[in-house]
Amino acid sequence: MNARLFAFCGGVAGPWRVTRMSAIVGDGLPAVRRIAITPGTVDPSNEGTGWVLRGIMSNERYVQRDEKDRLLEKQEGLGRVESTCAALIPIRKNASWWALTQDERRRIIEEQSRHIRIGLEYLPAIARRLHHCRDLSENEPFDFLTWFEFAPAHEADFNRLLVELRASLEWTYVDREVDVRLIRD
Amino acid sequence: MNARLFAFCGGVAGPWRVTRMSAIVGDGLPAVRRIAITPGTVDPSNEGTGWVLRGIMSNERYVQRDEKDRLLEKQEGLGRVESTCAALIPIRKNASWWALTQDERRRIIEEQSRHIRIGLEYLPAIARRLHHCRDLSENEPFDFLTWFEFAPAHEADFNRLLVELRASLEWTYVDREVDVRLIRD
């Protein structure tokens, strides 16, 4: 089985150097110098680790077949040599969001907020991997961790993507968001 | 916050006495005499515990608003005095299922298999609570644990409900299913 569970360990070790951390909505995260991404579980008491965020890759919750086919056609994987820039965006959505039914959430995410179409527009430049946290336990600090990778030349595109998403109806349900920018060195 | 995570502890303790355990598809579970349901996490090394299955209540994955309103109108909670019969049905679905997109799974679950409508027909007699396991970790033994409660007079209805679901297209994706029947005494 391929790894689905990943730990994002913020501390002093790892190939990704933190260049900026911003609390967009709600509480931020303690400042760290580097992030290491490791498959599986991690002992959070490891020396030098400031925090550990866990997330698991899961089945599609909203994407439909036609959208999935377009995503698969355009997307490229993580780990491209030229992708020396990354972002880790942990978010949490409020109780109103989680009380919505499936059709109500889909309508907000795509018909109103164009979340899937916006992501498509920035492929293949902006690669992304979504990790779910909410159902790992009862008390996770975030609901989702999204990891993005792109070349330095696409940083402005990435910022525009975030502006579009943060202006959407979907984002009115986000009650915590942190924006961590990184460079691989 | 209300408890969302539950542990089903099979062993020699708990208010629910096991009357029958059947492996419907795939591997069964070791025989136990009683089941205790406890909120939160549990130490599986507790004396007398044969096995522990964990599951978390989560947001609706398929139910639409009109269906949800009908469910809320008809359903009654767990713990009714007359509900002295129960069933624990752990199931796992295969990789083909999890590779489907949201619209494909919804079509199979409801438009073709009538899963939600079948459940509605047996309300309020058959009360049910669904727990998700698949994303608790990478290696859970089941994807879902469903707990049902009903009065002895409705046992035949419950068996008919299972026959209907097990005959559905959705159930062709189930590669492990155990059926545990219990009485509260």
pLDDT score, position B1: 56
Q: Chain B: residue nearest A131 by CA?
A: B135
Instruction: Give residue limits of the domains in chain A.
Output: 57-184
- Among A63, A101, A136, the residue with its CB nearest the CB of B65 is A101
Whole-angstrom Cα distance, residue A72 to residue B35? 45
User: What's the gap in Å between the CA of B108 and the closest CA on chain A?
Assistant: 14
Please determine, looking at this structure, whether the domain spanning A57-184 carries the CATH number 3.20.20.70.
no
**What would the 3-class secondary structure string for B129-166 be?**
EEEECCCCCCCCCCCEEEEEEECHHHHHHHHHHHHHHH
Q: What are the tens digits of pLDDT across the range B161-185?
A: 999 999 999 999 999 999 999 999 8
- B5-184 folds as Alpha-Beta Plaits (3.30.70)
User: What's the gap in Å between the CA of B98 and the closest CA on chain A?
Assistant: 6
Tell me if A5 and B68 make a contact (CB, 8 A cut-off): no
Tell me if B3 and A68 make a contact (CB, 8 A cut-off): no
Neighbours of A25 (CB within 10 A): 15
What is the ipTM metric for this complex?
0.94
Whole-angstrom Cα distance, residue A55 to residue A8? 8
Most B CBs within 10 Å: which of A67, A101, A108, as the mutation test of the B interface? A101
What's the mean per-residue pLDDT of chain A? 95
Burial A68-81, CB ≥16 within 10 A → b, else e: beeeeeeeeeeeee
Q: What is the DSSP string of chain A?
A: ----EEEEEEES-SSEEEEEEEEEES------SEEEEEES---TTSTTEEEEEEEE----SS--HHHHHHHHHH---S--TT--EEEEEEEEE-HHHHHS-HHHHHIIIIIIT-HHHHHHHTTTTSEEEEEE-TTTSS--S-SEEEEEEE-GGGHHHHHHHHHHHHTSSGGGGEEEEEEEEEEE-
Is residue B47's pLDDT more than 70?
no
Average pLDDT of the segment spanning A42-69: 89
Tell me which residues of chain A have a C-beta less than 8 Å from any C-beta of chain B: 1, 3-5, 40, 56, 58-65, 67-68, 98-106, 132, 134-139
Q: What is the DSSP string of B83-133?
A: --EEEEEEEEE-HHHHHS-HHHHHIIIIIIT-HHHHHHHTTTTSEEEEEE-
Whole-angstrom Cα distance, residue B133 to residue B78? 20
User: What's the gap in Å between the CA of B62 and the closest CA on chain A?
Assistant: 6
- Among A67, A99, A135, the residue with its CB nearest the CB of B135 is A135
Q: Chain A: residue nearest B56 by CA?
A: A135
Q: What are the tens digits of pLDDT across the range A83-111?
A: 999 999 999 999 999 999 999 999 999 99
Tell me if A56 and B138 make a contact (CB, 8 A cut-off): yes
Contacts of B138 in chain A (CB under 8 A): 1, 3-5, 40, 56
Q: Chain A: residue nearest B139 by CA?
A: A1
pTM higher than the cut 0.90: yes
Most A CBs within 10 Å: which of B42, B57, B60, as the mutation test of the A interface? B60
Residue type present at position A24: I
Number of A:B CB contacts under 8 A? 76
Average pLDDT of the segment spanning B42-53: 78
